């Protein structure tokens, strides 16, 4: 349906309400518009009944019902819901928006692992700015409170400690995921989702994808999501069971199809991705899987390879399908390329920070070299310690207080020179 018709319906039937172009492609807006159209509303109710019947039955619908549902689906997809999507990382109405999307796009064959197009709006194709992260990393590396900054995984954890939202939400999910044994995995997953949804990716990405050279660093990286609760269980379930659990959860199903689309591998691409240079979008989709029934993690402390906590033993004649599910994470060329690219980026940024720390700059007064410029980019431990610790009444934070004697002296000289003879 064209934009002029949409705007006309909005003005005529919604009391003059006008929505933006971006909002007109939102599934929630599309549903609201459909509710004002009797023909669309009646067909949409039929499609909702089809979706509910399909969710209750593990098998496909009967021929008569299937034909009726397909007709309703075709009508609805060509109405207000055409090309409707759900926004990313704005989770206030994610649940409702995704329910609408999967009503319009029902999976008539539940065993189908490859679903339709992603329900989310297009992901970012380039790496997001790291301005905030670099500022906090410089602050953390200059503080004696946090110590050595050469361990990038430790640095990422320290940066989180300096960001109020990050430390609050990270502490929250860590407490839930380690509260008792056995843990409440549902609550743990919910806490993880909230963390990765609400904290900036420029802070969460280094936590997940920091490069490691030793086992201690690898253990810190592996434990980021508290895997004893969120990832592991006493016995590895079959991957087909894990998939079935994911497909019954519309959030997990949505993020799985997004992961399939953004991290689709290609044997002909130089970076292994069907969509070239799609690393940022692939990693965002991968991070979206954390906190779902298909939560991935690193295989162990000593590798950057990831996997699902499931097995394909005793899969019978579905062994090939099961292997496909497991390999989509454990042997995904595009995902591996994206993770390695992110780890290289983290290493590069750390190297640049070290160069800024130790590179001398020219002194404009002409007395050789000094560290005036460097000290502005990288403050010493004592200054950073004062910034990290809570200010006390006895501490002055006015940077100009040291200039007061010079100012008084200059004023007195001016009075002497400009005063009466």
Judgement on whether residues 135 and 213 belong to the same structural domain of the protein: yes
| Residue matched to tokens 């410089």 | 138
Same domain as 74, residue 147: no
Question: Which tokens is 299 given?
Answer: 């295989």
Domain C-terminal end among 87, 104, 121: 104
DSSP structure class, residue 34: H
Q: Give the pLDDT confidence score for residue 269 in this predicted structure.
A: 83
Looking at residue 224, the DSSP 8-state letter turns out to be G
Q: Are residues 223 and 291 in the same domain?
A: yes
- Name which of 353, 307, 301, 343 is nearest 150 in CA terms: 353
Q: How many CB atoms lie within 10 A of CB 93?
A: 14
Q: What is the pLDDT of residue 203?
A: 92
Does residue 125 lie in a domain region?
A: no
Domain housing 66: 3-104
According to DSSP, residue 396 is labeled: -
Any domain includes 413 = no
> Residue 120 gets which letter from DSSP?
B
Same domain, 197 and 300: yes
Residue 100 lies in a domain: yes
Residue 157 domain flag: yes
Strand (E) or helix (H) holding 242 = helix 239-247
Query: Residue 97: which residues within 8 A CB-CB, separation 6 or more?
Result: 26, 27, 28, 86, 87, 119
What would the 3-class secondary structure string for 173-187 be?
HHHHHCCCCCCCHHH
Q: Alpha carbon of 180 to those of 220, 249, 360, 361: distances in Å?
A: 21, 25, 53, 54
Are both 83 and 218 inside the same structural domain? no
Same domain, 176 and 256: yes
User: How many domains is the chain built from?
Assistant: 2
CATH number of 298's domain: 1.10.220.110
**Which among 43, 69, 104 is the end of a domain?**
104
Cβ-contact 363, 342 below 8 angstroms? no
Q: Which two tokens stand for residue 343?
A: 């780890």
Pairing of strands 369-370, 361-362: antiparallel
Backbone angles phi, psi at 38, to 5 degrees: -55, -45
For residue 136, give every residue at least 6 positions away whose Cβ sits within 8 Å of its Cβ, in sequence order, or none: 159, 162, 163, 203
Supply the pLDDT for residue 66. 78
| 287-312 as b/e: b if 16+ CB within 10 A | bbbbbbbbbbbbeebeebebbbbbeb
Element (H, E) at 361: strand 361-362
Residue 22 lies in a domain: yes
Contact between 263 and 282 under an 8 Å Cβ cutoff? The reply is yes
> Does residue 135 share a domain with residue 95?
no
Residue 286 in domain: yes
Domain annotation covers residue 126: no
In DSSP terms, which residues pair with 421 in a beta bridge?
none
Distance between CA atoms of 38 and 267, rounded to whole angstroms? 49
| Same domain, residue pair 164 and 200 | yes
Q: What is the pLDDT of residue 60?
A: 56
Q: Is residue 412 part of a domain?
A: no
Residues 291 and 336 in one domain: yes
Residues 161 and 77 occupy one common structural domain: no
Q: Are residues 230 and 325 in the same domain?
A: yes
Give, for all 421 residues of the chain, the pLDDT tens digit: 444 334 334 433 443 333 444 445 899 999 999 999 999 999 999 999 888 877 666 455 566 677 888 899 999 989 999 889 998 876 678 889 999 999 998 764 444 455 668 899 886 655 555 666 667 666 666 554 444 446 788 888 999 999 999 999 999 999 999 987 789 999 999 999 999 999 999 999 999 999 988 888 899 999 999 999 999 988 999 999 999 999 889 899 999 999 999 999 988 888 889 887 789 999 999 999 999 999 999 998 888 999 999 999 989 999 999 999 999 999 999 999 999 999 887 776 655 455 444 333 333 233 332 222 222 222 333 333 323 223 333 333 344 444 444 444 445 544 444 455 4
Decide: residue 187, CB within 10 A, 0-12 exposed, 13-18 middle, 19+ buried: middle
Cis (ω within 30 of 0) for the bond into 182? yes
Residue 64 CA to residue 418 CA, distance in Å, equals 102
pTM of the shown model = 0.73
Query: Are 91 and 155 part of one and the same domain?
Result: no
DSSP 362-381: E-TTSSSEESHHHHHHS--H
- Nearest CA to 325 out of 242, 227, 267, 236 is that of 242
CA pair distance 378, 420, nearest whole angstrom: 48
Q: Which of 319, 349, 379 is the last residue of a domain?
A: 349
Q: Cα Rg for the chain, rounded, in angstroms?
A: 28
């Amino acid at each position: 349906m064209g934009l002029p018709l949409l705007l006309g319906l909005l003005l005529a039937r919604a009391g003059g309400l006008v929505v933006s172009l971006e909002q007109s492609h939102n599934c929630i807006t599309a549903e609201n518009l459909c509710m004002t159209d009797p023909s669309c509303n009646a067909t949409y109710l039929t499609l909702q009944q089809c979706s509910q019947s399909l969710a209750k039955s593990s098998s496909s619908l009967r021929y008569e019902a299937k034909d009726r549902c397909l007709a309703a689906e075709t009508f609805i997809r060509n109405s207000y819901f055409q090309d409707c999507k759900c926004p990313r990382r704005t989770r206030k109405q994610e649940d409702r928006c995704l329910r609408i999307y999967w009503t319009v796009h029902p999976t008539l064959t539940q065993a189908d692992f490859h679903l339709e197009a992603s329900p989310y709006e297009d992901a970012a194709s380039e790496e997001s700015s790291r301005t905030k992260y670099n500022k906090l990393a410089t602050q953390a590396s200059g503080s004696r409170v946090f110590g050595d900054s050469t361990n990038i995984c430790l640095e990422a954890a320290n940066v989180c400690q300096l960001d109020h939202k990050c430390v609050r939400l990270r502490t929250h999910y860590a407490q839930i995921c380690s509260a008792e044994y056995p843990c409440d995995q549902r609550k743990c997953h919910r806490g993880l989702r909230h963390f990765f949804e609400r904290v900036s990716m420029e802070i969460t990405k280094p936590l997940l994808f920091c490069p490691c050279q030793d086992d201690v660093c690898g253990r810190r990286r592996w434990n980021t999501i508290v895997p004893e609760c969120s990832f592991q269980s006493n016995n590895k379930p079959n991957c087909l069971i894990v998939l079935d659990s994911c497909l019954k959860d519309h959030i997990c199903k949505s993020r799985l199809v997004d992961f399939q689309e953004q991290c689709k591998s290609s044997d002909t691409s130089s970076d292994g991705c069907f969509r070239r240079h799609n690393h940022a979008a692939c990693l965002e989709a991968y991070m979206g899987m954390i906190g779902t029934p298909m939560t991935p993690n690193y295989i162990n402390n000593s590798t950057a390879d990831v996997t699902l906590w499931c097995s394909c033993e005793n899969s019978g004649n579905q062994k090939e399908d099961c292997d496909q599910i497991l390999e989509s994470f454990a042997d995904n060329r595009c995902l591996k390329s994206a993770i390695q690219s992110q780890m290289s980026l983290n290493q590069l940024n750390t190297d640049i920070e070290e160069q800024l720390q130790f590179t001398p700059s020219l002194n404009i007064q002409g007395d050789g070299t000094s560290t005036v410029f460097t000290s502005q980019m990288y403050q010493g431990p004592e200054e950073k310690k004062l910034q990290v610790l809570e200010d006390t009444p006895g501490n002055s934070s006015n940077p100009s207080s040291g200039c007061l004697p010079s100012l008084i002296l200059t004023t007195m000289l001016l009075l002497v020179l400009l005063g009466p003879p």
